[in-house]
Structure 1
Amino acid sequence: MRAVITFVVAALLLVTSISTESASAATKVASTTYTEALTNGKNFLSEHTSEQGEDRLGISVSAAEKIKALALPSDIPKALQRWLKNEKTAMIAFVRLQLTKAGTKLFDNPQFVPWLKYADDLSAQTGKPSAAISTLTAQYGDDALARLINQAVKDSRTKDTALRLQAEQLHHWLANKRSPDEVFKLLELDQAGNGILRNPLFRTWLNYLNKFNHENPSMKASLITPLYKHYSNMRVSIMVKEASKGDQEAVIVARIVENEHWLSNRKTPEAAFVSLRLIKPRDNFLTSNRLAGGSSTSTTTTSDIPTKR
């Protein structure tokens, strides 16, 4: 009888031991599965966000926020209000609205304009400058973002938004002392061709040049240098003649460039007037009945450029 009892007790102990080990193993398996799933999720997000440049640029967005970004909020306006209350950064909102996947279709994305408004509202609430441009620059880089904005300006559906961002981008470049030569290329004016002086972007660039030289007197840049860098001397002359046929704004720009063109080539006043066909060679150019127009040319400066786009 004692032997039977001993056997039963031993059996019960064995079953208990097996159950405990099984439960422990199950817990380990569950824990491992959860850890692997979380790790895989993080790896997936890291892989896909780096494709958009986010991780590569070192933007600080927590893993938890990235995981939440796997699905759009069901009620975006409410989500934006909640984020604003919690003062989520513009970058976090950008990620949560899945705008990192927008690529070159950013201006067509239905979440883009609400995000811009969120960035403005956040700025008003915190008293800090809007982070819209810094966020977009971190995401795309100066060159790609400038190209994106330049394209959007040409589309009537996105023009107003693009012009607003273009102004903010120019302010951002000015604050970071981007040289006018760099900005000339960022605005793709090096590819504008003979009609460059009639291009609204050239007038935008001239105003940037003015502001840059005013704020950085020790780093003053020349108006004519980037033109000569990307176009021949002859082409600059053609550009001036083309612009002279345009509206009042184009004519003013043409005069400014022509003035710089003469000075850089060290033309005499008479040669300058001949180049504009104000007088014939060997005439007394001081008696020309078109002198008034020529005189205004020599005194026209970049401050005369109309600000109206």
Structure 2
Amino acid sequence: MVGNIDGDNEERGFSSSLISASTIKEATMAGAQKFLDYARIIVAPKSQKTIDQRFLEFGVNAVEIDVNTGNLFKDDKYRNWAQSVAVAYEEDDVGAEVAKISTLLSHYDKDTVISMLAAGKNVPDTKVIVENLEIGLLIKWTADDTRTGDIFKLLQFDKDESAILKNPLLRIWIHYASEMGKKPHEVLYEKLITLYGDKELAILLAMAKNDKATKKIAKRLQKLQMKEWQDGDVRVVDIYTLLELGGKAPTELLTSPMLSTWVSYAKMRGMKPYDMLFSAMMKSMDDIGLARVLVAAKRDGTNAKTVRKLQDRQLEEWLKDQKSGSDVLQRLGLKERGNTMFRSRVWRTWVSYMIKLEEQKQGPKIELNLPLALALVLKKEMGGKALLELVTTARDVPETRKIAEWLERSVWKVTRQTPDEVFDLLKLKKNGVESVEFKSWFNYVTQLKLSKEITDELVHISVLKKRFGSGLQKILEKERTRSFKWHDEDRKKVFTELLESLEKLKLLKKLKRLKSLEKLEKLEMLEKLEKLNSLEKLEMSELLKLLKQKKGPMKRIWAWLYNNLLSMKERLSKIWRALVVKVRKRFRNEKV
């Protein structure tokens, strides 16, 4: 309500800021009751008389106005009066603007006021002042049920058509008119269709739908237009022609803002627009041609939903024809791309088909190992060597690096690469354990261990020890320290695990050395026993040989000694052999 403007009100600065969106929203949410309040303010004799008196007291009526420059709003007399109104209305900024514009309309005709507002809006010093007054005028006229012609004149519908739906006053009017129980969208549609006609309005709304600032209102108006088409039984093909979609090249068609209008209308009439588009396009191009067109249109983004539907339609057609992953790879010409395969525009199309193919085989609830499925098909089509070269090359290209990293572990697996071979592929001796490549290698070797393809629990550290030698421990400790500094828990875990494995490896080597020494000592003892056995045999044989050669009177005695020694030799030999066998068996059967 209007405050006491005759008393000594506290001065406050003249407002140079636009009424905030929140203030307008609050007034809008207040609804019809707020409008009744504004109406009472405007028509209350005492209030109007007081405001008019102030208008005259400040001499605003004496200012010689120029409707072409909007000079009134720069004049000090007007500004002083406007300030007094603002102070009187305290925190009610919207009410103050309604009161100001009501007073101006009581002194000047509406066409003069609209002309002054239009001129003042083009002057930087008065632009915000005028915009606030426009809001007040729009609210007053909406509450007064003023003819829409005057409102549309204020909204400058005769100006640039591309800016019509962006006018902030239009949104404010729609809000307030809706609260007053009117149908602003229907009124606005009738005005627009009269101004532009069916075709031009359809194009204007299609363009406006792609602008965030006008998307919401454009959709509402477009529904009204399509409802009118439906009520008039306008054929879908006629709208296709009206929107000038016929005869366009596929890429041009899929990037046309008008296409979404036709799709929406076709759906409204119960048709299947995506099937219609797909069938028409397949008549003029092959699989790879359509796939490339769809990828290009998807990047444009104008008709993202339609393009996505057409891509799905193409994949479903391949599934229906039971095309394998190899079949589609060849159809899309990817095999011929060699090391540039990942840079092809249709690479993602093939990946999308492989997802659908694997889901069909395993069911949608099964967690897919998509990289492995891709790697198996690629190996079959390219061979292991070419596939490895593809992934290795792609790693060095920023554009394809992520694809290579996503796929490489599966490629190494299907090509049966050992930890040592992958170490060399990634040039880890040069790049070091601090590189991102090291993580790929570590994860791959871990995967081999988990799948039981490698049983050596210390395979990580064994390979690293072989490559970095005695300096490995310092390297690992340095990287673990860095991980603590960077608060990288995953990296800290990896290098802690590697250091623990290194200690285990050292301990195992010590145990092996001890066992080797023990084994060596046992073998040396065995060799000595065998050597002693040989010497004993040699000495006994020599003695018998000498006794056999003796002659003369002692021959009988020598013969007796010879026979007894021979018998002794046989007995001793049996004992000796048994002893040697027993010792040998004991040493050789013992685990080393």
- Which TM-score bucket, shorter chain as reference? 0.5 to 0.7
Secondary structure, counterpart of 1:209 in structure 2 = helix
Q: Is the contact made by 1:84 and 1:118 (CA closer than 8 Å) also made in structure 2?
A: no
After TM superposition, the structure 1 = structure 2 runs for residues 10-29 of structure 1, keeping only pairs within 5 Å, are: none
The match for 2:272 among 284, 290, 307 is 284
In structure 2, the partner of 1:192 is 159
**Alpha-carbon distance between aligned partners in 1 of 2:184 and 2:138, rounded to the nearest angstrom:** 17
Partner residue in 1 for 2:76? 110
Please give the per-residue CA displacement for 1:182-225, whole angstroms capped at 9, x wherever unaligned: 41123221x1243243542xx42244134313313599853311
Pair 1:182–1:265, CA change in 2 (3 A): farther
- The answer to whether residue 102 in structure 2 is matched with residue 120 in structure 1 is no
Q: Equivalent residue for 2:334?
A: none
CA apart distance, 1:291: 8.0
Report the CA distance shift for 1:242/1:151 in structure 2 as closer, same or farther (over 3 A). Answer: farther
Distance in 1 (CA, whole Å) between partners of 2:113 and 2:89 is 21
CA deviation digits over 1:55-104, x for unaligned, max 9? xxxxxxxxxxxxxxxxxxxxxxxxxx995449982222222333222423
Residues 205 and 219 (structure 1), Cα distance of their counterparts in 2 relative to 1, 3 Å cut = closer
1:95 paired to 2:56:
yes
Aligned in 2, Cα 1:155/1:239: closer, same or farther, shift over 3 Å? farther
What does residue 208 of structure 1 align with? 173
Task: Tell me whether 1:228 sits opposite 2:193 in the alignment.
Answer: yes
Q: What is the match of residue 113 of structure 2?
A: 145
The higher relative CO (CA closer than 8 Å, separation ≥ 6) is in 1
Alignment counterpart, residue 248 of structure 1, candidates 195, 212, 223: 212
- The aligned residue for residue 239 of structure 1 is 204
SS of 1:172 mapped into structure 2: helix
Q: Measure how far apart 1:286 and its partner are.
A: 4.9
AA aligned opposite 1:259: K
Structure 2 contact 166–213 (Cα < 8 Å) conserved: no
Residue pair 2:177, 2:183 contacting (<8 A) in 1 also: no
| Change over 3 Å in CA distance of 1:198–1:272 after alignment to 2 | farther
Question: Equivalent pairs: percent with the same residue?
Answer: 15
Return closer, same or farther for 1:277/1:209 CA change in 2, 3 Å cut-off. Answer: same
Amino acid in structure 1 at the alignment position of 2:81? W
Mapped contact 1:213–1:221 kept (Cα < 8 A) = no
- In structure 1, C-alpha distance between the alignment counterparts of 2:238 and 2:218, rounded to whole Å: 14
Identify the residue that residue 124 of structure 2 maps to in structure 1: 156
CA distance in 2, matches of 1:257, 1:219: 10
Shift of the 137–112 alpha-carbon distance from structure 1 to 2, 3 Å rule, reads: same
Cα deviation for residue 150 of structure 1 reads 3.1
Aligned length: 207
Q: In 1, distance between residues paired with 2:155 and 2:53?
A: 29
Amino acid at match of 2:219: R
Contact 1:224 1:257 in 2 (8 A): yes
User: CA 1:244–1:96 in 2, change beyond 3 Å: closer, same or farther?
Assistant: same
Amino acid at match of 2:55: F
* Shift in alpha-carbon separation, 1:176–1:220, aligned structure 2, 3 A: farther
Residue 122 of structure 1 and its aligned partner are, at CA, apart by 3.1
For 1:19, the equivalent position in structure 2 comes to: none
- Do structure 1's residue 264 and structure 2's residue 228 form an aligned pair? yes
TM-score for the superposition, normalised by structure 1: 0.53
Deviates more, 1:154-163 or 1:260-269: 260-269
Asked if 2 retains the 8 angstrom alpha-carbon contact of 1:133 and 1:165, the reply is yes
Give 3-state SS (helix, strand or coil) of 1:249's partner.
coil
Partner SS state of residue 213, structure 2: helix
Q: 1:175 aligns with which of 143, 168, 171?
A: 143
Cα root mean square deviation, aligned: 4.0
Seen in structure 2, the aligned counterparts of structure 1 residues 84 and 146 have a Cα distance that, compared at 3 Å, is farther
Counterpart residue identity of residue 284, structure 1: K
Deviation at 1:138, TM superposition (A): 0.7
1:222-248 deviations in Å (ceiling 9; x for gaps): 331111233333332342355356x41
1:156 maps to a residue whose letter is P
Deviations 1:125-148 (A, max 9, x none): 9xxx54322111111233322332
Secondary structure of the 2:123 match is: coil
Deviates more, 1:161-170 or 1:89-98: 89-98
Give distance in 2, aligned partners of 1:187 and 1:208: 9
Q: Tell me the SS of whatever aligns to 1:216.
A: coil
Secondary structure class of the residue paired with 1:155:
coil
Superimposed CA distance per residue, residues 8-34 of structure 1 (whole angstroms, 9 cap, x where no aligned partner) = xxxxxxxxxxxxxxxxxxxxxxxxxxx
The 1:221–1:251 alpha-carbon spacing in structure 2 relative to 1, beyond 3 Å, is closer
Instruction: Give the distance between the partners of 2:192 and 2:80, measured in 1 at CA.
Output: 39
Following superposition of structure 1 onto structure 2, how do residues 28-39 of structure 1 map, counting pairs within 5 Å?
none
Counterparts of 1:1-80 in structure 2, within 5 Å, are none
For 1:106 and 1:252, locate their aligned partners in 2 and report how far apart those are by CA, in whole Å.
37
CA distance in 2 between counterparts of 1:177 and 1:156 reads 32
| Cα distance in structure 1, aligned partners of 2:238 and 2:219 | 12
